[in-house]
């Protein structure tokens, strides 16, 4: 174990020096703010020498020699290295938090209490001195993702606006389609619905009931070619809303099926619906799949059900897409809101469900 004290102007700078001098596996043992005429941060960090020098690549010549003697030994070595790495990794997480100076620790816990991911919480507390500065920071981060979204509304200069809702199973697509359709009608628009959900039992019935209730036409399509035809057939509609089947984003056929739609060249605005009551890690993980698609907006559903809404900040930071709206209840019409940065920040920092 090699231990080193590093001084820098800011915590962030100290962390990057630690990384530079001791490598990515270094563990932060403590961090202190030193006050005075020229204040600085002192960070004590450590690295296990074995880990530092023993990346798998560095082991390669030795490994190949051992390999000829015994493959089992190599496998054992690899396993040991892996578990060593894992324990350093978990040490990094557990050691970091308790060693923070008191004010930073409180802010870190404040953010963690709202389910904001460690990596984002660390970034936020680095820049803020108290919770009101934290709030301002979150507001700023979300500003460009919310500004001007509402004014675009249903028409953005195009003759016919085609909006497709995608998202994991049960994220609220069909319900939100009905909310959007009602709203567009209230704005005096002619609306048409298309459902691509021929997959799930009862799905067709669900959207048919909404279409009848709102009094608008519905087309049910089973493949991309019929989808394109249906969009074209809606010649007199101002807004066409497309409902899709919710599936596990890890399913490659699902993602490539959606990709086919864009390859037809029909102009479709895509809104990705993410439920705030879903598992945060699952939604973060889904990014690598959904990001393969040209997503125009994200929208957060079921904010009425979620106890912690830090996931909104995590997902905004990750997806970096404008936020179309949030939904906060099952009622149709209603329970859909356009949010500016202030509203979204308050939601993220709220505790307890609505
Ligand atoms: N509490 C709450 N429930 C909602 C909200 N939006 C939708 N739901 C409910 O969530 C459930 C699933 O909604 P759907 O609209 O069927 O979800 P979906 O994304 O179309 O589901 P799949 O088509 O199966 O992928 C229903 O019971 C809805 O009433 C919301 O904002 N808040
Ligand atoms: Mg549905």
Q: Give pLDDT, residue 104.
A: 85
Please give the mean pLDDT across all residues of the chain. Answer: 86
Atom of ligand 1 nearest to the CA of 169: 25
Domains of the chain as residue ranges with CATH: 1-99 (no CATH), 144-349 (3.40.50.300)
- Ligand 1 neighbour 16 (Cβ under 6 A): no
Q: Give pLDDT, residue 84.
A: 77
- Ligand 1 neighbour 322 (Cβ under 6 A): no
Q: Mean pLDDT across the stretch 105-119?
A: 93
Tell me: the pLDDT tens digits for 312-340?
A: 999 999 999 999 999 999 999 999 999 99
Ligand 1 centroid from CA 171, angstroms: 6
Ligand 2 centroid from CA 339, angstroms: 24
- Ligand 1 neighbour 48 (Cβ under 6 A): no
Ligand 1 centroid from CA 87, angstroms: 40
- Ligand 1 neighbour 337 (Cβ under 6 A): no
Q: Give pLDDT, residue 31.
A: 79
Three-state helix/strand/coil letters over the chain: CEEEEEEECCHHHHHHHHHHHHCCCCEEEEEEEECCCCCEEEEEEEECHHHHHCCHHHHHHHHHHHHHHCHHHHHHHHHHHHHHHHHHHHHHHHHHCCCCCHHHHHHHHHHHCCCCCHHHHHHHHHHCCCHHHHHHHHHHHHHHHHCCHHHHCCCCCCCCEEEEEECCCCCCHHHHHHHHHHHHHHCCCCEEEEECCCCCCCHHHHHHHHHHHHCCCEEECCCHHHHHHHHHHCCCCCEEEEECCCCCCCCHHHHHHHHHHHHCCCCCEEEEEEECCCCHHHHHHHHHHHCCCCCCEEEEECCCCCCECHHHHHHHHHHCCCEEEEECCCCCCCCEECCCHHHHHHHHHCECCC
Q: Mean pLDDT across the stretch 159-168?
A: 89
Nearest CA to ligand 1 atom 3: 330
Q: Give pLDDT, residue 174.
A: 96
pLDDT band at 91 (very low <50, low <70, confident <90, very high): low
pLDDT band at 1 (very low <50, low <70, confident <90, very high): confident
Ligand 1 centroid from CA 305, angstroms: 11
**349 in Cβ contact with 135 (< 8 Å):** yes
Nearest CA to ligand 1 atom 7: 172
Tell whether the model's pLDDT for residue 189 goes beyond 80: yes
Q: State how far the Cα of 249 lies from the Cα of 258, in Å rounded to an integer.
A: 11
Q: Which residues of 157-192 are buried (b: 16+ CB within 10 A; e: fewer)?
A: eeebbbbbbbbbeebbbbbbbbbbbbbbbeeebebb
Tell me: the pLDDT tens digits for 3-47?
A: 888 999 888 888 889 888 888 888 777 778 888 888 888 888 888
Q: Give pLDDT, residue 52.
A: 47
Nearest CA to ligand 1 atom 26: 172
């Amino acid at each position: 174990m090699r231990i080193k004290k590093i001084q820098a102007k800011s915590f962030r700078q100290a962390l990057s020096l630690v990384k530079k001098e001791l490598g990515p596996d270094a563990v932060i043992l403590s961090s202190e703010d030193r006050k005075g005429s020229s204040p600085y941060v002192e960070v004590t960090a450590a690295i296990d020498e074995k880990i530092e020098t023993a990346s798998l690549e560095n082991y390669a010549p030795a490994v190949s020699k051992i390999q000829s003697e015994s493959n089992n030994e190599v496998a054992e070595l690899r396993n040991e290295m892996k578990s060593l790495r894992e324990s350093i990794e978990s040490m990094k997480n557990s050691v970091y938090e308790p060693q923070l100076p008191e004010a930073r620790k409180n802010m870190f816990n404040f953010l963690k209490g709202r389910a904001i991911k460690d990596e984002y919480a660390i970034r936020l507390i680095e820049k803020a001195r108290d919770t009101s500065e934290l709030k301002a920071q979150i507001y700023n981060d979300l500003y460009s993702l919310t500004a001007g979204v509402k004014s675009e509304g249903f028409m953005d200069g195009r003759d016919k606006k085609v909006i497709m809702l995608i998202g994991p199973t049960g994220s609220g697509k069909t319900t939100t389609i009905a909310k959007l359709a009602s709203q567009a009608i209230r704005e005096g628009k002619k609306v048409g619905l298309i459902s691509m959900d021929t997959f799930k039992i009862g799905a067709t019935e669900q959207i048919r009931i909404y279409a009848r209730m709102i009094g608008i036409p519905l087309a049910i399509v089973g493949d991309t070619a019929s989808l394109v035809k249906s969009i074209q057939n809606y010649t007199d509609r101002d807004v066409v809303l497309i409902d899709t089947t919710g599936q596990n984003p890890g399913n490659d056929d699902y993602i490539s099926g959606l990709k086919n739609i864009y390859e037809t060249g029909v102009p479709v605005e895509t809104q990705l619906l993410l439920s705030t009551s879903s598992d945060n890690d699952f939604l973060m993980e889904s990014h690598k799949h959904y990001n393969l698609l040209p997503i125009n907006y994200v929208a957060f559903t079921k904010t009425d059900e979620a106890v912690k809404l830090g996931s909104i900040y995590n997902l905004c930071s990750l997806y970096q897409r404008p936020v179309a709206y949030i939904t906060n209840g099952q009622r149709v019409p209603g329970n859909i809101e356009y949010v500016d940065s202030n509203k979204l920040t308050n939601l993220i920092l709220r505790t307890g469900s609505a």
